[in-house]
Structure 1
Amino acid sequence: MADALAERCTMLGGPVIGLMQAVMGSQVNPIRFVEVIERAREIQRIVAQGADDVQDAAYTRWAATAPTVLDEIVDGAEHRDRERVWAAFSDPERGLNALAAACAGQPGW
């Protein structure tokens, strides 16, 4: 259902932008790892609401791997491992760009 996808993308838009900024910032300033953890956990809470109502293959594919990817981001940030954080965040198949592709065309994306 397109409305469910639009709703989910709207819910995730701000937190994803915040995570992107924090991840980029953490690459040069380790103090930003705290913010990386906060933003990733915020996205985890949204993803935990489920995706049963979203009838979009790209979104459901991303949502299925999102918990693992977000855990990798959090764990990397907790260990101040900027390379691990970046690798999980930017993974072309499971990272946040996969969500961006699913939400392409939605307001704010």
Structure 2
Amino acid sequence: MTSALEQRCERLRQPVTELVAVSISATLRPQDLPELRAAIADVRAILGEDASDLPPGAFIDWLPTALRNLQRMDEAVAGGDAATSYAILTDKADGFIRLTDGCAGFPGWSAT
């Protein structure tokens, strides 16, 4: 039986991969901004789900920051600023690297 955290991490893997890819492309191609907003919304929907069944730890610790980051990213993209959105995504202290820590050990995730 898989844990609730493992299931959540599994469901996030592809949407987060898409988010990273379109974040990069949107910095070079403004026409990708609507796709970036959709990717942000997809990840936010999963991260915004009830977390009461998730154990304490790196994922839960980062979750409020993740939701704030996604809001800030969406605001930047709405203003046409994909570069700021990408900077938030890749921030070394609070960016999505912390999701890697929270999902470390599950298939497709590793801490670096």
TM superposition shift of 1:72: 0.9
In structure 1, what is the Cα distance between the partners aligned to 2:74 and 2:83?
12
What CA deviation, in whole Å up to 9, does each residue of 1:80-105 have, x standing for no partner? 11231112101223211111121122
The question of 1:48 aligning with 2:48 is answered: yes
In structure 2, what is the Cα distance between the partners aligned to 1:56 and 1:12?
18
**Unaligned runs of at least 5 residues, structure 2:** none
Tell me which protein shows more helix as a share of its residues: 1
Contact conserved, 1:5 with 1:56, CA < 8 A, in 2? Answer: no
How many pairs are equivalent? 108
The question of 1:6 aligning with 2:14 is answered: no
In structure 2, what is the Cα distance between the partners aligned to 1:4 and 1:56?
12
CA RMSD in angstroms, aligned pairs only: 1.4
Counterpart of 1:38, as a letter, is A
Contact conserved, 1:51 with 1:63, CA < 8 A, in 2? Answer: no
In the TM superposition, 1:1-109 aligns within 5 A as 3-109=3-109
Report % sequence identity. 27
Could you list the runs of 4 or more consecutive aligned residues of structure 1 that deviate by over 4 angstroms after TM superposition? none
What CA deviation, in whole Å up to 9, does each residue of 1:34-56 have, x standing for no partner? 11110111111111212221114
Counterpart of 1:103, as a letter, is C
Q: TM-score, normalised by structure 1?
A: 0.90
**Unaligned runs of at least 5 residues, structure 1:** none
Q: TM-score, normalised by structure 2?
A: 0.88
